[in-house]
Structure 1
Amino acid sequence: MTTTTETALSAPPRSPFRAWVARRLFRYAVKDLPVTVSFPDGSRIGRGGPLMRVVRPSAFFHRLGAQANIGFGEAYMAGDWTSPDPVAALTPFAARMATLVPRPLQVLRGWVDAHRPATELNTPDGARENIHRHYDLSNDLFEAFLDESMSYSSAWFEPGDDLHTAQLRKIDGILDLAGVTSGSRVLEIGTGWGALAIRAAQRGATVTSLTISVEQQRLARKRVAAAGMTDRVTVNLQDYREAAGTYDAVVSVEMIEAVGEEFWPTYFATLARVLAPGGRVGLQAITMPHDRLLATRRSHNWIQKYIFPGGLLLSVPVIEDQATRAGLRIEDRRSLGPQYAQTLAQWRTRFLAARDRVAAFGFDEVFERLWEYYLAYSEAGFRSRYLDVWQFGLRSSG
């Protein structure tokens, strides 16, 4: 099939000077990392540890010099570098994300970092296009590696849990924070494939669930019908900004990452606007360190280019500030960061085991390497604690 992965197979941009700078900076960054980077001539750098094998050094450093973070990921997609354990190889890089480039040279970030395309701004039309590029890829693709609940967010594991049990615990946790019980009127922002809406309906709630993914709406409605909950769950193809009505509970699981900085105030204002007096919000959000958000908020990285166009993670201070500005207060919170690393590890194992199925869906080998890198890159972020994920319970402060 034709996808943006084709760009990774083209010859990398040629800039001998940038490639030279990239080579020097890469060697500087790796010399103190607990990794082993090997080259075709037999040379190695790093303090020793997980192996990263640079197969085509010239292409690797030209990509790195041209687009830094984006080039590093594209080099993996193209096969310029590989690893028998990409998560282990990437984790030391994630742990030192803020210091890989020497501080005096960080002022050059604007020279090497790509900038976000204006077309990825999450206006109502832009958000639909951004979501379409990921969630409308293929329901079959997601079914190949998710558990039977089709939950595409961090699970909450306890000892002995399989993935499905842990996903249901996560859903119950966010429903509890939102106070969802029998008779609750619930608004869900971000349907996924219907698991949370079905679980809330099984508690006796009535649910209005919003998605802007055509494929998600189609399968979610089918799953709601199969669960016998069509009288309690309505799945609308609708932007969160168009939400109407009043609800006892609002729940939103890992959708806020797709909102975009320009629309954070609108998102939180929407939560406050539709919440009934005494109502509660259950919010699950992936976060990054606040200083790294400030340093990278204008940049365009590999995840944004290939996985979540228009996406931007928040920090906990930003969530606290935006909630306060909207008249909401955070009453409860729990971190599930290590749980996300475990979730991603299971997704990656399942995805790799389903390679034949993925190929049969029409996705090429470069796409498979793209997704392997995405899952490994994300897991490394959580294993290093560079990334975290939180469940928040909010209530109107009025």
Structure 2
Amino acid sequence: MTTTVPPAATPTPSVDPARWPDVARVPDVPLRAAVAARLLRRAASRRGLRVELPGGRVLRPAPAGAPVLRLHRPRAFLHRVGEGGLIGFGESYQAGDWDSPDLVALLTALATAPETLVPTGTRWLRRLYVQRPPDEELSTAANTRRNVGRHYDLSNDLFALFLDPTMSYSAALFPTGAAHAPLATHDDLAAAQHRKIDRLLDLARVGPGTRMLEIGTGWGELALRAAGRGAHVVSLTLSEQQLVLARQRIAAAGQADRAEVRLCDYRAAEGQYDAVVSVEMIEAVGRPFWPDYFATLDRVLAPGGRVALQAITMPHGRMVASSRTYTWILKYIFPGGQIPSVRAIEESATRHTRLRLTRADAYGPHYAETLRLWRERFTERSPQVAALGFDEVFRRMWELYLAHSEAGFRTGYLDLHQLLLTRDGATDAPVPTSPSRREEQRPFGGKEERP
């Protein structure tokens, strides 16, 4: 049964086949497209989606306010999804085959219990389209710098368009009441980023005279904050553009005598440090190299030292199931990565080092808010993104990436943890906080976990 709605304008991004070969190419796989069509009907039914077709038709009735999947080129969409699964789904969006007036709502509906979208008896079909990550993107010492450069060396000006003045590209922590979600604005981001940084520095007990190693510099805000406490900081990055701007910001703040940024792989870290801090860098390490990562943390940590990590996480079973799957995010956004689980972090540290996980605090909903603000600012500043030389296929790719990530945190498919690791036998003490910050640091919608 179909009904009629006013037709929507069809986006037609110009796709450069040299820059976007797999987006420009529309496969011809009729049998797989037929399977994709059946799965689309199932998803629409199971999730209450409104699937709009060209000419004002609707695939099936849907309740008012239902998330909308607007198909502009159904054939291309079905053949891409039929051949490539979720990679094809993403490439189809980049090409303009489909759209949605509320991309996050649609992706949130699809990300809720995704395992139920495919009938149990037909899950063997997954083998037809699931790819393995290519060897050239494995996060070896030889490949990692290229992987990092594909994302973080795009343009400092690009990131400045949607980040706050701290240039922090990781989850912020917003002030919340006991049971109220934040209603944050972009103006709140800088303070929320400092709240996140300060909590990590408190976890690691960074203060005057602390020798601190940061793995993953970003654009230098955490190193600046630690130097402002009187710490002596060495920060490692593999992004040449981040290196340049972080050094400039540190020099401009008068902290060059306390904070040094090095172009260096984490595996080559040298020295002994009282504190090691790393924010959302473990996701780029890759599962085969987690033992090397934690061995490095253990090797450089001085006796009595503390490691504070901020990590995107996912449930352990989902992590295991997806660990050898090549996804759209890996192909286009973060090559070589793997999101860990808290359990995987704990087990890897325990098996390969003297480090033990002593504290894990969850802040997933804060990342959803952070991503919402980034996404809104990125979309608002689309003309400025174009002026930097990024075409519409790229802009649609990043809109999908930010919306996809936000949906992941809103459904709980993804979570965010701040983690404390100490040497075997050490015990955790309460995180030092001033009375004015205790309420600000309370997580909403999350929980504190103690392994």
Q: Distance in 1 between matches of 2:168 and 2:124?
A: 40
- Once the 2 structures are TM-superposed, how far is the Cα of residue 9 of structure 1 from its aligned partner? 4.1
Deviation of 1:150 after TM superposition, in Å, equals: 0.5
Query: Residue 32 of structure 1 aligns to a residue in which SS?
Result: helix
Q: 2:149 aligns with which of 125, 132, 136?
A: 132
Partner of residue 49, structure 2: 35
Q: Runs of 5+ in structure 2 lacking a partner?
A: 1-14, 177-182, 426-451
Distance 1:205 1:34 in 2: 54
**Distance of 2:193 and 2:118 partners within structure 1:** 38
Distance 2:399 2:54 in 1: 23
Task: Give the SS at the match of 1:391.
Answer: strand
Q: 1:197 to 1:43 in 2, by over 3 A?
A: same
Q: CA–CA distance in 2 between the matches of 1:312 and 1:168?
A: 26
Matched residue count = 398
Match of 2:339 among 306, 313, 323: 313
CA distance in 1, matches of 2:313, 2:19: 27
Larger Rg: 2
Instruction: Tell me which residue corresponds to 2:37.
Output: 23
Give the alignment of 1:113-192 within 5 angstroms. Answer: 113-159=130-176, 162-192=188-218
Equivalent residue of 1:106, what SS? helix
Per the TM alignment, residue 98 of structure 1 is displaced from its structure 2 partner at its CA by: 2.2
| TM alignment of 1:293-372, pairs within 5 A | 293-325=319-351, 326-372=353-399
Offset at residue 206 of structure 1 (A): 0.5
- Structure 1 position 106, deviation (Å): 2.1
Displacement of 1:107 = 2.9
Provide the alpha-carbon RMSD of the alignment: 1.6
Residues 1:44 and 2:59 are matched in the alignment: yes
How many Å separate the matches in 1 of 2:390 and 2:276?
36
- Counterparts of 1:46 and 1:122, CA distance in 2: 46
**Is residue 91 from structure 1 mapped to residue 118 from structure 2 by the alignment?**
no
Q: Is the 8 A contact 2:23 2:92 kept in 1?
A: no
The one of 236, 241, 255 aligned to 2:267: 241
Aligned to 2:90: 73
Q: Which moved more, 1:287-296 or 1:240-249?
A: 287-296
Deviates more, 1:107-116 or 1:292-301: 107-116
Q: Provide the residue aligned with 2:309 in structure 1.
A: 283
Equivalent in 12, 15, 26 of residue 26 of structure 2: 12
TM-score between the two structures when normalised by the length of structure 1: 0.97
CA apart distance, 1:82:
0.3
Determine the structure 1 residue equivalent to 2:74: 57
Cα deviations by residue, 1:185-243 (Å, 9 ceiling, x for unpaired): 00000000000000000011000000011111011000111111100001000000000
Offset of 1:283 from its aligned partner? 0.5
Cα displacement string for residues 7-52 of structure 1 (whole angstroms, at most 9, x for unaligned residues): 3541311111111111112212221103212222512347531211
Q: Partner residue of 1:106?
A: 123
User: Would the aligned equivalents of 2:314 and 2:339 in 1 still touch at CA under 8 Å?
Assistant: yes
Q: Return 103-112 or 9-18, whichever deviates more.
A: 103-112
Q: Could you say what secondary structure the match of 2:142 adopts?
A: helix
Q: Kindly provide the amino acid, as one letter, of the partner of residue 6 in structure 1.
A: W
How high is the TM-score relative to the length of structure 2?
Answer: 0.86
- For 1:47 and 1:243, how far apart are their aligned partners in 2? 56
Instruction: Tell me the amino acid that sits aligned with residue 379 of structure 2.
Output: L
Secondary structure in 1 matching 2:46:
coil
Tell me the SS of whatever aligns to 1:191: coil
Give 3-state SS (helix, strand or coil) of 1:201's partner: helix
Q: Among 232, 235, 238, which residue is 1:209 paired with?
A: 235
Cα distance in 2 for residues equivalent to 1:142 and 1:82: 24
CA 1:46–1:220 in structure 2 vs 1: closer, same or farther (change >3 Å)?
farther
Identity of aligned residues (%): 56
Contact 2:67 2:109 in 1 (8 A): no
1:264 paired residue number: 290
User: 1:88: Cα distance to partner?
Assistant: 0.6
Deviations 1:330-353 (A, max 9, x none): 222211100000000000111011
TM superposition shift of 1:96: 2.1
Mean alpha-carbon deviation: is it higher for 238-247 or for 14-23? 14-23
Aligned pair in 2 of structure 1 residues 186, 3: CA closer, same or farther (>3 Å)?
farther
String of CA shifts for 1:236-279, please: whole Å, max 9, x gaps: 00000000110000000000000011100000111111101110
Q: Distance in 2 between matches of 1:46 and 1:269?
A: 56
Measured at CA, do residues 45 and 229 of structure 1 come closer, stay the same or move farther in structure 2, by a change above 3 Å? farther
The 8 Å contact of residues 54 and 82 in structure 1, kept in 2 or not, is answered as: yes
The gaps in structure 1 that reach 5 residues or longer are none
